[in-house]
């Protein structure tokens, strides 16, 4: 893909805290992205709440801000630094969630800032459980019986209909946080309540659990 000459200054959103042995790829990928952008003559502003990363080294980005990864902080940073683009895809779930909130508020459009790396429509199709399900059905991809629920009662009713065990997959959560496999109603209620709480949009996909050998998927 040829270089877009309209991209002069990029705000990159980091991933925040990293659990040892998990999600370190975000730091590596973000570091390489910063270097690549700078090699192309693009100014890079980095926002990350975690100072113990490679990407927050003073030589990686042109400017580094160690601040909380919140919508309010990102908005203030955009007003201050005036980037023409935001790159959220290398910050894991934190970056994707922030990008969607900024898009939904209309802040990016209001200040003529574009998302690069992906579009908000693509993020929604991947992260929103109903959107993803609809996309799979549209292309004829076989999927397990499932339903997106917004409360525990609907989850219980659907699980009773399709039978246990069921897989619970919250929308817009990091690394499967809040999800799990429920073998009975008691486990379902516990996992579902937590998943609904953690989901940015308060949605959880309840799905028939398919057993392959001893593995559940």
Query: CB of 153 within 8 A of CB of 172?
Result: no
pLDDT digits 0-9 by tens, 4-46: 889 999 999 988 876 665 567 778 888 999 999 999 999 999 9
2 assigned to some structural domain: no
* Residue 201 belongs to domain spanning: 138-216
pLDDT digits 0-9 by tens, 198-211: 998 899 999 999 87
Please provide residue 164's backbone torsions phi and psi, each rounded to the nearest 5 degrees.
-90, 160
112 and 174 together in one domain: no
Is the model more confident about 3 or about 149?
Answer: 149
Q: Look-up: residue for tokens 């929604």?
A: 124
45 and 150 together in one domain: no
133 assigned to some structural domain: no
Mean pLDDT of 57-75: 93
Among residues 71, 98, 125, which one ends one of the domains?
125
- Amino acid 48: pLDDT: 93
pLDDT digits 0-9 by tens, 81-111: 999 999 998 877 788 889 999 999 999 999 9
**Band (74; pLDDT cuts 50, 70, 90):** very high
Joined tokens for residue 194: 């937590």
132 assigned to some structural domain: no
- Is it the case that residue 214 has pLDDT exceeding 60? no
176 and 111 together in one domain: no
Mean pLDDT of 112-120: 91
H and E: helices and strands count for the chain: 8, 11
121 and 152 together in one domain: no
CATH number of 171's domain: 3.30.1490.20
Q: Which of 67, 80, 59, 58 is nearest to 13 (CA)?
A: 67
- Is it the case that residue 1 has pLDDT exceeding 60? no
Considering Cα of 201, then 207, then 212, then 216, what sign does the dihedral take?
A: positive
Q: Which residues contact 84 (CB under 8 A, 6 or more apart)?
A: 6, 7, 8, 9, 10, 112, 113, 114
Mean pLDDT taken over the chain: 88
Among residues 125, 160, 194, which one ends one of the domains?
125
46 and 152 together in one domain: no
1 assigned to some structural domain: no
pTM: 0.74
- Amino acid 20: pLDDT: 62
- Amino acid 193: pLDDT: 96
d(CA 80, CA 78): 5
Query: CB of 70 within 8 A of CB of 36?
Result: no
67 and 114 together in one domain: yes
Among residues 94, 125, 156, which one ends one of the domains?
125
- Amino acid 119: pLDDT: 87
3-state DSSP assignment of residue 85:
strand
Is residue 11 exposed (0-12), middle (13-18) or buried (19+ Cβ within 10 Å)? buried
118 assigned to some structural domain: yes
């Amino acid at each position: 893909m040829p270089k877009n000459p309209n991209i002069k200054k990029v705000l990159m959103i980091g991933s925040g805290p990293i659990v040892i042995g998990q999600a370190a790829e975000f730091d590596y990928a973000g570091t390489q992205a910063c270097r690549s952008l700078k090699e192309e003559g693009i100014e890079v502003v980095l926002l990350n709440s975690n100072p113990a990363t490679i990407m927050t080294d003073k030589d990686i980005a042109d400017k580094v801000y160690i601040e909380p990864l919140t919508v309010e902080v990102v908005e203030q940073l955009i007003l201050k630094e005036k980037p023409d683009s935001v790159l959220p895809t290398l910050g894991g779930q934190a970056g994707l969630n922030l990008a969607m909130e900024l898009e939904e508020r209309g802040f990016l459009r209001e200040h003529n800032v574009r998302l690069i790396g992906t579009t908000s429509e693509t993020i929604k199709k991947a992260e929103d459980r109903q959107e993803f399900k609809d996309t799979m059905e549209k292309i004829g991809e076989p999927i397990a019986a499932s339903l997106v629920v917004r409360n525990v009662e609907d989850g219980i009713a659907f699980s009773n209909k399709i039978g246990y065990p069921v897989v619970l997959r919250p929308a817009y959560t990091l690394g499967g946080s809040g999800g799990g496999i429920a073998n009975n109603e008691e486990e379902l209620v516990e996992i579902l309540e937590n998943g609904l709480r953690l989901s940015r949009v308060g949605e959880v996909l309840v799905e028939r659990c398919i057993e392959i050998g001893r593995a559940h998927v």
